[in-house]
Structure 1
């Protein structure tokens, strides 16, 4: 049986994504992203399902720093519509609520109802964890912003459903494994993820990326991050629409290598239907 690691508790969005991808798998909830990746690295889990960015909140902090150093490979992607319910203990009412708990990202994605209620907020480590905390408190003055699955799991009552600011709120997850998956057919819609470190020369980044433009390769994401202190060259995480065996992509990667000290492909995997439907630029 496959074991799936994810950050957060049961009832979290990560747990929902993991079950959508691997409905019959065993689950390994982890306290942090690094612990979830380590679970795969050291064999406690077969794959990890990790959020990388959200349509409202942007990239998930730390994940892009951890991916290249983990030694793991991206084998799939998944897009999950994000829904938050405001929930409290059984018998509670909105009039009784004084404090709302949730993960910092969830609080930021539900600003409208928080302003409307004028409630004090407390940051929890996880959205589902905030629901558990409210259930343990048993106090009608405390409520949680959590995924719908958390209410029945922790015996809470939904005070108001679907309170997210953006009805199109979506989080993209990637699946990480110890070994790279077989590449899709070169003619199928494909995403290639890689990271590179530019050479320490003038206009290195401009020259490194020039091959993508000149060969008509669509670059959908670029994230920069610094490794260590000082003036060491930046590293970049990049995602492109295309397959390394396609002539244009092959030429672009060859040109990238001319102006980089390191290029590492982290994954070549099928594009998710959400991306193909125009939900992701």
Structure 2
């Protein structure tokens, strides 16, 4: 098995993959080859081509919200399925090739999402430094470590403590994130099309296009969830890309497609929405279970279905055809 991740080693995505592998039997985990990629889109192309068997990708950050690159890739195909999630606590350090005074730093490199999470600290402590983008926090650390001492003068990277240690960098400051306790959620994606069985503590992800570009279209769509007691844990709009003003909605709901209430909501959405991308139902990493009113339990749906079946058996085909 070959599992891809946003690399190089020691990125937060790599940490998420290591967490996922730790849940496997030791023999199975030992057989997994970890394959780094520079972009989620590139990894997804290889996943669809069969070059890798699974992909770990960031999807949501507690500070910055959805990770647009992952959301757009997931929305572009029906041929991949989310089978698991991981949550990684996010903390950052400022690291350099050698001990350096903060006032001597001129260029700070990191991933744009990481930059956004430390911008307050950077403004306070390094107001004159230029911020440069890297493909990942670990890539910023790796690129800095690869420079000779003269090239690295005045440069630093915002990265994880693991990346700083892995690439032998000197930590200049720790805990520089603006929001203590921040987290990033990652999803494990496969192309098998097999859905993990319901656990009772599950999440379902989908992408919807609105039925019409008119007032109330989003409300009409969301009412399908409300009418079936399905709680949304995330909803984000993303441009479809064909012209201005056209958006899709990436949604996480509490529950599994095997739950009658979730299935009923999805059947309704399939009727009214021109596009419904089902991306998977999978166990929640936090173990949380939704609190359901009695009318949204599976038994209530089964009883209602049986009631309608009994009534339809009473239909007189002769009279109805008269």
TM-score by length of 1: 0.88
The residue that corresponds to 1:53 in the other structure is 60
The residue that corresponds to 1:79 in the other structure is 87
Structure 1, unpaired ranges of 5+: none
The residue that corresponds to 1:148 in the other structure is 161
| 2:124 paired with 1:116 | yes
The residue that corresponds to 2:202 in the other structure is 190
Secondary structure, aligned partner of 1:40: helix
| 2:12 paired with 1:13 | yes
Larger radius of gyration: 2
**Matched-pair contact (CA < 8 Å) for 1:90–1:155:** no
- Matches of 1:256 and 1:239 in 2, distance apart? 14
The residue that corresponds to 1:250 in the other structure is 263
Q: Deviations over 1:103-156 (max 9, x none)?
A: 122121112331232241222222111112222332342111111111222221
Change (3 A) 1:201 1:147: closer
**Matched-pair contact (CA < 8 Å) for 2:41–2:69:** no
Q: How many residue pairs get matched?
A: 275
Q: Which moved more, 1:56-65 or 1:195-204?
A: 195-204
What is the CA RMSD across the aligned residues, in angstroms?
A: 2.3
The residue that corresponds to 2:315 in the other structure is none
- Matches of 1:105 and 1:82 in 2, distance apart? 11
- Matches of 1:124 and 1:60 in 2, distance apart? 15
Q: Deviations over 1:11-33 (max 9, x none)?
A: 21111111111254322111211
The residue that corresponds to 1:127 in the other structure is 137
Q: 1:62 deviation in Å?
A: 2.7
TM-score by length of 2: 0.78
**Matched-pair contact (CA < 8 Å) for 2:66–2:236:** no
**Matched-pair contact (CA < 8 Å) for 1:5–1:36:** yes
The residue that corresponds to 1:216 in the other structure is 229
Q: Which moved more, 1:195-204 or 1:250-259?
A: 195-204
Q: Deviations over 1:160-185 (max 9, x none)?
A: 22211112111011110011334323
- Matches of 1:144 and 1:226 in 2, distance apart? 32
Q: Which moved more, 1:110-119 or 1:47-56?
A: 110-119
Change (3 A) 1:189 1:274: closer
Q: 1:47 deviation in Å?
A: 0.7
Q: Deviations over 1:46-67 (max 9, x none)?
A: 1111101111112112322210
- Matches of 1:201 and 1:151 in 2, distance apart? 49
> Which is richer in helix?
2
> Which is richer in strand?
1
Q: 1:201 deviation in Å?
A: 6.8
The residue that corresponds to 1:225 in the other structure is 238
